[in-house]
Chains A and B, each alone.
Chain A
Amino acid sequence: MATPVMEKSQAGAGGTAGDSPYITATFRIRRFNPEVSDEVTWQDFELEIDPKERVLDALHKIKWEIDGTLTFRRSCAHGICGSDAMRINGRNRLACKTLIKDINPDKPITIEPIKGLTVQKDLVVDMEPFFQAYRDVMPFLITKGNEPTRERLQSAEDRERFDDTTKCILCAACTSSCPVFWNDGQYFGPAAIVNAHRFIFDSRDEGGEQRLEILNDREGVWRCRTTFNCTEACPRGIEITKAIQEVKRALITRRY
């Protein structure tokens, strides 16, 4: 057996012993705590930090070592749980999936809450309207008739048809990047449509008509102006605008 000699790829966490990986970076964070003041302020924090670390690591460093009142949500820290969507240098991203080196640390890095949802404290927003829109599209498998004893059969192609939209982690990066949503909080928003798509195009589902009627509403898919912000914002790489277009097409052709 040919065995490759492993000496490649020393990139990644940490560097070689001796040279300091640290840089100085400024984090400019939007602060708001109505318990203290109604004023929004911007506060700068200067950190010595390894640029290969995550923005979330920087936020932790600030919270744990400088200012414990800095408030944000986070959990898994590797882009799976969807807790820490925020606006970093004007773009929606997950703080745990954004490395400092990738966002130009030579200039102050701005961090603010995602837009279009009420800010409750610092980077924490009220997620309830977001989840309500999700619940409103009936995001669950709807079937008729008797259940089979074994699994329902589905071809690999039929399974592939909706694979992209199953990746959604409900982080709200897409919905809160959408200019239509900013101006009209009643709009279902991209994430809810993505989750409707996930079922409409699932060959096992029989609730497509109901969901399409919900999205045919004046606050439904027709409000989408195809700005592609959502697709750009999605940390899971879901082609959201395409999914919304597919739902629109399904509404016209009633084929899906």
Chain B
Amino acid sequence: MKTHKYDTVIVGAGGAGMRAAIEATKRSRTAVLTKLYPTRSHTGAAQGGMAAALANVEEDNWEWHTFDTVKGGDYLVDQDAAEILAKEAIDAVLDLEKMGLPFNRTPDGTIDQRRFGGHSRNHGEAPVRRSCYAADRTGHMILQTLYQNCVKEGVEFYNEFYVLDLLMSEVDGVKRTAGVVAYELATGEIHVFQAKAVVFASGGNGKFFKVSSNAHTLTGDGQAAAFRRGLPLEDMEFFQFHPTGIWRMGILLTEGARGEGGILRNKDGERFMEKYAPVMKDLASRDVVSRSIYTEIREGRGCGPEGDHVYLDLTHLPPEQLDAKLPDITEFARTYLGIEPYTDPIPIQPTAHYAMGGIPTNVQGEVLADNTTVVPGLYAAGEVACVSVHGANRLGTNSLLDINVFGRRAGVAAAEYAATADYVDLPEDPAAFVQGQVEALRSSEGSERVTEIRKALQETMDKNVMVFRTEQTLKEAVEEIASLRKRYRSVSVQDKGKRFNTDLLEAIELGNLLDLAEVTAVSALARKESRGGHYREDYPNRDDVNFMRHTMAYREVGDDGTESIRLDYKPVVQTRYQPMERKY
């Protein structure tokens, strides 16, 4: 075991982690621990753009953007946070441009903007051009630009270090952050990082679904570590299904395709979104479009021999426009489907995409231990966190914005805290949990295999916790996950070595996914209403009287060691906007 000491430790090197690192490194001695090389992070897969009311191409302002974000989130958004997001969006985009990000340009040389789902002029009148973009590789450009600036600032990275535990110590009755424990992939060595401030920026947990746009590595390691240490997880039942994933594979095809004029069609060639969203049509919010697609499929208007998908039609767009604005996704269609998007429509289906929920934070990025109490020294930003700016459904282009605005805020706040705070003593035997976990897996002779449990988990999540949910499907999921968790106790790995043991780490990641899937299903079962990404067929309406509140899930351990999930609720922050019926 090795120990290290830093003022600030950042967990994860995607957009949020690196944006935080650029700030924290200027202000404090900072280390970034990341399980992937920084440029491998899934921020790089984001395509369509980053929202900001620059008003470069048409009238726009941050208040309209705030409203769209609140409405898009089906009024579960904390409105103070949404206002910060929309206001700071403008500087966040300009900062990236100054760091070198190669945005597409208007004829005047300013940053070009395009339409995106749910973003409108004057509170829903018509689509507005708010998304700042770089072809369909905006996330790639953000990730590269942030890494480039980390190189410039001399940010210290520990690459391929898996953070598996959060350390907290009680000081005068208050739990304070003491550091983290990491597993080094190359050597199998365990490292304790003592830190005054820790920022979790470790990304999402979409890999518990089968059809998913998420990378294999998005296993919710940060959320699971916090939850295990008694911290709550907020709004985990809200998971976004992006309307246009490549059929059966789930690979993302940007909403920018519809922003450029792409149209969704059923087997009759009908532009079915006109029925469901007369004003915004194909550019309604993602939850609305995903439900509409599945409604078409369920009512027998799906395409293909099994009627299990619909088409994204780009054939009416000029090839030059596709080449200039959508080069990557058209290449995906060619590579993975053998389809030429100039002439043929692309088969698509909704794909599990983004966790709206996560580790609760306030607008400074400080992690909450309950509805109001801050954990001193602990921060979170990006998909791992729940501020909540996305509420029940995130708008497209608001996640690249979120990582920049709240990544920056968390980095500044963590480093400023570290500048004045003292180190907290490490708990006794700080690496005990991780050592135990790793040794147990290495020595296990159990008969269960990771691959089978993961497959069963993904299948039950796709079947029961997807776009349409009912009491029955959710109960089935909860039971199935409980039985999988039991089986997981007898899981064993084939690779018993220390060097680059990815077999072992996949087993640990599966454990994290199981924990989070259970929280997701349990939270969804208790929310007896439909709101944003959470749609209950048995409760098809939004219920503001009983459920205009955030779910807070806690892990409870009984005296006999039995684990359970306790649900509590937190009020939504409302400032300007009263809940209205949501129409697009």
Contact = CB atoms under 8 A, between A and B. Distances in A.
Nearest to A18: B305
Contacts of B216: 74-77
Interface in B218-257: 246-249, 251
Given A35-B497, A71-B500, A154-B109, A97 B102 contact: no
A4 B315 CA distance: 10
Contact of A69 (B41, B105, B345, B494): B494
A139 B37 CA distance: 16
B109 A169 contact: no
B473 interface: no
A13 B137 contact: no
A139 to B, nearest CB: 5
Nearest to B40: A81
Nearest to B134: A166
A14 to B, nearest CB: 6
Contact of B493 (A14, A68, A163): A68
A140 to B, nearest CB: 4
B99 A3 contact: no
A165 B44 CA distance: 16
A151 interface: yes
A6 interface: yes
Interface string B303-342: 1111000010101000000000000100010011111000
A35 B498 contact: yes
A166 B106 CA distance: 19
A91 B37 CA distance: 23
Contacts of A65: 451
Contacts of B269: 3-6
Interface in A126-154: 127, 131, 135, 138-141, 147, 150-154
Interface residues of A, number: 72
A147 B98 contact: yes
A78 B336 contact: yes
A90 interface: no
B251 A78 contact: yes
Given A75-B216, A81-B41, A13 B493 contact: no
B215 A63 contact: no
A75 B506 CA distance: 12
Contacts of B500: 71, 120-122, 124
Interface string A3-28: 11111111111101100000000000
A199 B500 CA distance: 35
Contact of A76 (B42, B107, B141): B42
B502 interface: yes
A224 to B, nearest CB: 23
B337 A6 contact: no
A141 B100 contact: yes
Nearest to A123: B500
A152 B100 CA distance: 10
A99 interface: yes
Chain B interface extent, by class: 35 or more
A9 B97 CA distance: 40
A6 B336 contact: no
B251 A169 contact: no
B292 interface: no
Given A6-B345, A153-B108, A154-B105, A13 B247 contact: yes
Interface string A60-82: 00011101110111111111111
A151 B101 CA distance: 10
A166 B144 contact: yes
A79 B249 CA distance: 14
A6 B311 contact: yes
Interface stretch (B146-154, B393-401, B407-415, B563-571): B146-154
B36 interface: yes
A63 B39 contact: no
Contact of B305 (A10, A138, A155): A10
Interface in A97-132: 97, 99, 120-122, 124, 127, 131
A169 B140 contact: yes
A89 interface: no
Contacts of A141: 98-100, 148
A151 B132 CA distance: 12
A27 B32 CA distance: 37
Interface stretch (B161-169, B260-268, B430-438): B260-268
A33 B499 contact: yes
B152 A3 contact: no
B126 to A, nearest CB: 19
B104 interface: yes
A135 B105 contact: no
Given A69-B494, A83-B37, 14 more contacts: A9-B344, A12-B337, A63-B502, A68-B494, A78-B249, A78-B336, A80-B140, A81-B36, A122-B500, A138-B152, A140-B148, A167-B137, A169-B39, A205-B100
Shortest beta-carbon contacts, A-B, top 5 = A141-B100, A68-B494, A153-B109, A12-B337, A64-B451
22 contacts: A3-B268, A3-B271, A4-B269, A4-B315, A4-B345, A6-B303, A68-B503, A73-B40, A74-B216, A75-B42, A76-B45, A77-B251, A81-B41, A120-B499, A127-B37, A131-B37, A135-B151, A151-B93, A151-B98, A154-B109, A166-B137, A204-B100
Interface of B: 36-37, 39-42, 44-45, 93-94, 97-100, 102-111, 134, 137, 140-141, 144, 148-149, 151-152, 186, 215-217, 246-249, 251, 265-271, 303-306, 311, 313, 315, 328, 332, 335-339, 344-345, 347, 449-451, 493-495, 497-503
Interface of A: 1, 3-14, 16-17, 33-36, 52, 63-65, 67-69, 71-83, 97, 99, 120-122, 124, 127, 131, 135, 138-141, 147, 150-156, 159, 162-163, 166-170, 199, 202, 204-205
